[in-house]
Amino acid sequence: MSRTVDSYLILLAHDEAFTRGCGDYWAEDRASLDQFFAEGQWVVVWPQDDS
Protein backbone atom coordinates (compact mmCIF):
# COMPACT_ATOMS: atom_id res chain seq x y z
CA MET A 1 0.00 0.00 0.00
CA SER A 2 1.39 3.43 -0.93
CA ARG A 3 0.85 6.56 1.12
CA THR A 4 0.03 9.90 -0.49
CA VAL A 5 2.00 12.85 0.83
CA ASP A 6 0.62 16.34 0.40
CA SER A 7 2.80 18.91 -1.31
CA TYR A 8 2.24 22.64 -1.59
CA LEU A 9 2.77 25.29 -4.25
CA ILE A 10 3.12 28.77 -2.71
CA LEU A 11 2.47 31.62 -5.13
CA LEU A 12 4.12 34.96 -4.32
CA ALA A 13 3.73 38.47 -5.74
CA HIS A 14 4.20 42.09 -4.76
CA ASP A 15 0.53 42.81 -5.40
CA GLU A 16 -2.83 41.03 -5.12
CA ALA A 17 -3.37 40.97 -8.89
CA PHE A 18 -0.11 39.02 -9.38
CA THR A 19 1.22 41.52 -11.91
CA ARG A 20 4.52 42.47 -10.23
CA GLY A 21 7.34 40.49 -8.68
CA CYS A 22 5.74 37.09 -9.20
CA GLY A 23 7.33 33.84 -8.19
CA ASP A 24 6.64 30.55 -6.51
CA TYR A 25 8.01 28.12 -3.97
CA TRP A 26 7.42 24.37 -3.69
CA ALA A 27 7.11 22.71 -0.29
CA GLU A 28 7.42 18.91 -0.40
CA ASP A 29 5.39 18.27 2.73
CA ARG A 30 3.67 19.96 5.67
CA ALA A 31 6.91 20.18 7.67
CA SER A 32 8.60 22.05 4.79
CA LEU A 33 5.57 24.33 4.49
CA ASP A 34 5.65 25.12 8.22
CA GLN A 35 9.39 25.84 7.97
CA PHE A 36 8.81 28.20 5.03
CA PHE A 37 6.21 30.13 7.03
CA ALA A 38 8.47 30.24 10.12
CA GLU A 39 11.46 31.56 8.15
CA GLY A 40 9.30 34.28 6.59
CA GLN A 41 7.73 35.06 9.97
CA TRP A 42 4.30 34.56 8.41
CA VAL A 43 1.33 33.90 10.65
CA VAL A 44 -1.12 31.57 8.92
CA VAL A 45 -4.62 30.93 10.19
CA TRP A 46 -6.10 27.85 8.54
CA PRO A 47 -9.88 27.78 8.04
CA GLN A 48 -11.77 25.22 10.08
CA ASP A 49 -13.35 22.27 8.30
CA ASP A 50 -17.03 22.38 9.24
CA SER A 51 -17.94 19.10 7.57
Model pLDDT, residue 49: 79
Model pLDDT, residue 51: 66
Task: Give residues with Cβ within 8 angstroms of 42, minimum separation 6.
Answer: 36
CB of 37 closer than 8 Å to CB of 44: yes
CB of 20 closer than 8 Å to CB of 14: yes
pLDDT tens track, the chain, 51 positions: 666 678 999 999 999 999 999 999 999 999 999 999 999 999 988 888 776
Model pLDDT, residue 6: 87
